């Protein structure tokens, strides 16, 4: 599983769910957490655009949707778009993203479910879609875990839909100071934060093709059977996690 390549005929669907609750205004180095996350997202979309470009032609190898959530969900791009349209739209649409009270994670996951129901029949022969969820704290409202578990049971021929979580928590600083010496989070990794443990339950196991990509192209020594739960306690880790999401549908070719 997880070997299908992203092409214009079999595009990779990547959905980003971004927590924009008030706590995302806290500082992370010289910027706010939200600014760091959005800069990393721009880099990821730029990488997708670069991989989709040959000469002057851009092939629609990716389909991208971005949903920002706090007390409500904002469809940043107004739907799912091919990468050649999504990347230029991003900066213009970022003005829609403002931090608010509340962290209604379940609402964002519900939006993701609706998008998947619409697109999965059209993408059965495409790479398995990936949901990249970034958050910095406990949810409010309904428990999002049942929806996350439901999403991870959806599948295309390539495999089950992948759920990636990026958790901006200081507790991860003890696990590794940098992505290059981080070994991933396994089922037996001690996690003192109850929400980190819940996010691990809401994360897919990292496919081997993705793990090889992280090793060969991002310099990380992530162990087998790690979960797609990524630290976000530094800008470097956030960039690292977003770059992995941008590898959807290309990691198989890059590791052959």
User: Burial, 93: exposed, middle or buried (Cβ in 10 Å; 0-12, 13-18, 19+)?
Assistant: middle
The per-residue pLDDT for range 86-96, each reduced to its tens digit, is: 988 887 887 77
Report pLDDT for 246.
87
Q: Give the span between the Cα atoms of 52 and 246, in whole angstroms.
A: 11
CB atoms within 10 A of CB 182: 21
The per-residue pLDDT for range 45-103, each reduced to its tens digit, is: 999 998 888 877 888 899 999 999 999 999 999 999 999 999 888 878 877 777 788 89
CATH topology of domain 12-254: Rossmann fold (3.40.50)
Q: Give the span between the Cα atoms of 31 and 225, in whole angstroms.
A: 34
The per-residue pLDDT for range 133-184, each reduced to its tens digit, is: 999 988 999 999 999 999 999 999 999 999 999 999 887 777 777 898 889 9
SS3 content of the chain, % helix, strand, coil (to 5): 40, 20, 40
How far is the CA of 74 from the CAs of 18, 89, 134, 217, in angstroms? 10, 15, 15, 33
Report pLDDT for 255.
45
Report pLDDT for 19.
96
If you ran DSSP here, which 8-state letter would residue 188 be given? Answer: T
Residue where the block lists tokens 């920002």: 68
Read off the pTM.
Answer: 0.95
Report pLDDT for 94.
78
Q: Average of pLDDT values for 190-197?
A: 92
**Looking at per-residue confidence, does 19 or 60 come out higher?**
19
Q: Give the span between the Cα atoms of 45 and 77, in whole angstroms.
A: 13
Residues 6+ apart with CB under 8 A from 16: 41, 64, 65, 66, 67, 132, 133, 134, 245
If you ran DSSP here, which 8-state letter would residue 146 be given? Answer: H
Residue 72 falls in which region: left (phi positive, over 0), alpha (psi -120 to 50) or beta: beta
Q: Which secondary-structure segment (H or E) carries 235?
A: helix 235-245
Q: Say how far residue 136 (Cα) sits from the centre of its chain.
A: 14
pLDDT of 35 above 80: yes
The per-residue pLDDT for range 208-255, each reduced to its tens digit, is: 999 998 888 888 899 999 999 999 999 999 999 999 998 888 765 554
Q: Give the span between the Cα atoms of 205 and 165, in whole angstroms.
A: 11
Residue ranges per structural domain of the chain: 12-254
Q: Give the span between the Cα atoms of 164 and 244, in whole angstroms.
A: 10
Report pLDDT for 251.
60
Report pLDDT for 88.
86
Instruction: Report residue 207 as tokens.
Output: 């496919």
């Amino acid at each position: 599983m997880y070997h299908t390549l992203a092409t214009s005929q079999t595009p990779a669907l990547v959905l980003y769910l971004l927590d924009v609750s008030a706590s995302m205004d806290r500082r992370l180095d010289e910027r706010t957490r939200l600014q760091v996350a959005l800069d990393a997202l721009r880099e990821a979309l730029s990488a997708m655009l670069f991989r989709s470009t040959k000469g002057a032609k851009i092939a629609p190898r990716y389909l991208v949707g971005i949903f920002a959530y706090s007390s409500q969900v904002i469809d940043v791009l107004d739907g799912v778009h091919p990468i050649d349209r999504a990347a230029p739209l991003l900066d213009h649409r970022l003005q829609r993203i403002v931090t608010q009270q509340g962290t209604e994670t379940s609402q964002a996951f519900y939006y993701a479910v609706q998008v998947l129901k619409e697109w999965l029949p059209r993408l059965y022969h495409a790479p398995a879609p990936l949901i990249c969820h970034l958050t910095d704290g406990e949810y409010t409202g309904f428990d999002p875990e049942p929806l996350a578990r439901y999403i991870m049971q959806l599948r295309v021929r390539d495999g089950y839909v992948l759920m990636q979580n990026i958790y901006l928590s200081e507790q991860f600083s003890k696990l590794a100071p940098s992505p290059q010496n981080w070994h991933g989070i396994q089922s037996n990794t001690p996690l003192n934060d109850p929400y980190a443990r819940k996010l691990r339950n809401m994360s897919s196991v990292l496919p081997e093709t993705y793990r090889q990509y992280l090793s060969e192209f991002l310099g990380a020594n992530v162990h087998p059977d790690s979960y797609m739960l990524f630290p976000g306690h530094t800008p470097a880790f956030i960039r690292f996690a977003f770059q992995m999401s941008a590898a959807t549908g290309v990691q198989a070719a890059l590791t052959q």
